[in-house]
Amino acid sequence: MNLDNLARVDLNLLVILQVLLEEQSVTRAAHRLHVSQSAVSKSLHRLRQTLDDPLFQRTAHGLKPTAHADALRQKLPQILQNLYQLTQPPIFYPENSNRHFSFSMVESAYETLIPYFIGPLLQQAPQIKLDSYVWTEKSMQDLQQGQIDFGIAGRDIHPQTDSNIDQVPEGIESQVLFNDHQVCLVRKNHPILQKVKAGHWDQTHYLNMSHVQVRCEGNDWWALDYHLANLGLHRNLATTVPDFYGAASVCAHTNLIFTLPSSFAHHAQKLYSLVSIPLPFEFMPMAYVFLWHERNNQEPGHKWFRNMIFSSVEKAIANNRITKNDR
């Protein structure tokens, strides 16, 4: 290693390069960095001189990275993470920490999981700051790029879906928090309840109904729809909405049926006059999975956060507070 040459490199330029690689726009990069566009342009000029490469080409759709910049994009996040760790204390003391953690959660996990871990986290580390976001189709990329620290997502235990539990990008670690299964909600006094009571509730009746569906990670289809498609069957998805509570509200005021994870059904029933009935055929379960990047495996604060989540959820499951609807 030539330390003399390295000493002439402004390491702040690496941060600017990372933001430019993520945003591919001088304007958006300047906004994120809270500096002027002129300052970012000057830094880009210095980067080009330092690295002896144009790094980006201007196009109608923004900045397009060169081959060298693309190669740097694979290495730079880990380099910056290592530099960041050098500025952090080697030991994490939760009671004195003012660390900032961010995580994204699939919407159904907010009611299902967050009540059981938010209290213990803040009790042990009262000065930390927690920012949470709804899990979207972009959240995995945010996790890879270090924009968020952790994720909790619902993953299908089904090989043909894009959200399969085994299909996570390289570098992303995962641990299953608990498994769940699908149930159905209908409004009270729904006509189908008479057939359920009489023992006539079956797949044919289910498929003849109109359904309300939640759009998850940008997808209208769930694993259940892929399963039915393999059998040459399909549901009539009469209404697709962006969130679970919206779907529950629609279900409570119409004759639509809502299929959803059983752990969330209990919370929906607290707000709306809904009745839970079983899915009338066998179907594989899904899992709630905790996600993080491998670069943080040994970071003390991240390890503490993960262990707090795991232990809190484990206690809640042991006390039947999460999975009681599965019985």
**Residue pLDDT, tens place only, 163-205:** 555 567 889 999 999 999 999 999 999 999 999 999 999 999 9
pLDDT of residue 324: 52
Rounded to whole angstroms, the Cα distance separating 229 from 237 reads 13
pLDDT of residue 11: 84
| 225 and 189 belong to one structural domain | yes
Average pLDDT, the chain: 89
| 33 and 171 belong to one structural domain | no
Is the pTM for the entire model greater than 0.75? Answer: no
Total domains, the chain: 3
Residue span of the structural domain in which 169 resides: 100-180+287-326
Confidence of residue 321 (pLDDT cuts 50, 70, 90): low
**Which residues, in sequence order, are CB contacts of 240 under 8 Å at separation 6+?**
212, 213, 214, 215, 220
Summarize the confidence of residues 305-310 as an average pLDDT.
Answer: 95
> Residue 50 belongs to a domain with what CATH number?
1.10.10.10
Report whether pLDDT(325) > 50: no
pLDDT of residue 29: 94
Residue 190 lies in a domain: yes
Confidence of residue 132 (pLDDT cuts 50, 70, 90): very high
Residue 23 lies in a domain: yes
Residue 302 lies in a domain: yes
pLDDT tens digit string along 26-82? 999 999 999 999 999 999 999 999 999 999 999 988 899 999 999 999 999 988 888
Report whether pLDDT(92) > 50: yes
Residue 92 lies in a domain: no
> Residue 252 belongs to a domain with what CATH number?
3.40.190.10
Summarize the confidence of residues 202-226 as an average pLDDT.
Answer: 90
**What CA–CA distances, in Å, run from 240 to 107, 161, 235, 260, 269?**
15, 19, 12, 13, 20
Residue 94 lies in a domain: no
Percent helix, strand and coil across the chain, each to the nearest 5? 45, 25, 30
- Last residue of one domain, picked from the residues 20, 55, 86: 86
| 158 and 305 belong to one structural domain | yes
Residue 245 lies in a domain: yes
Confidence of residue 123 (pLDDT cuts 50, 70, 90): very high
If one compares 197 and 326, the residue with the highest pLDDT of the two is 197
pLDDT of residue 326: 41
pLDDT of residue 323: 57
| 168 and 314 belong to one structural domain | yes
128-131: which pairs have CB atoms within 8 A and are 24 or more residues apart? 128/94, 128/97, 128/98, 128/99, 128/100, 128/101, 129/98, 129/99, 129/100, 129/101, 130/101, 130/102, 130/103, 131/100, 131/101, 131/102, 131/103
| 126 and 73 belong to one structural domain | no
| 278 and 192 belong to one structural domain | yes
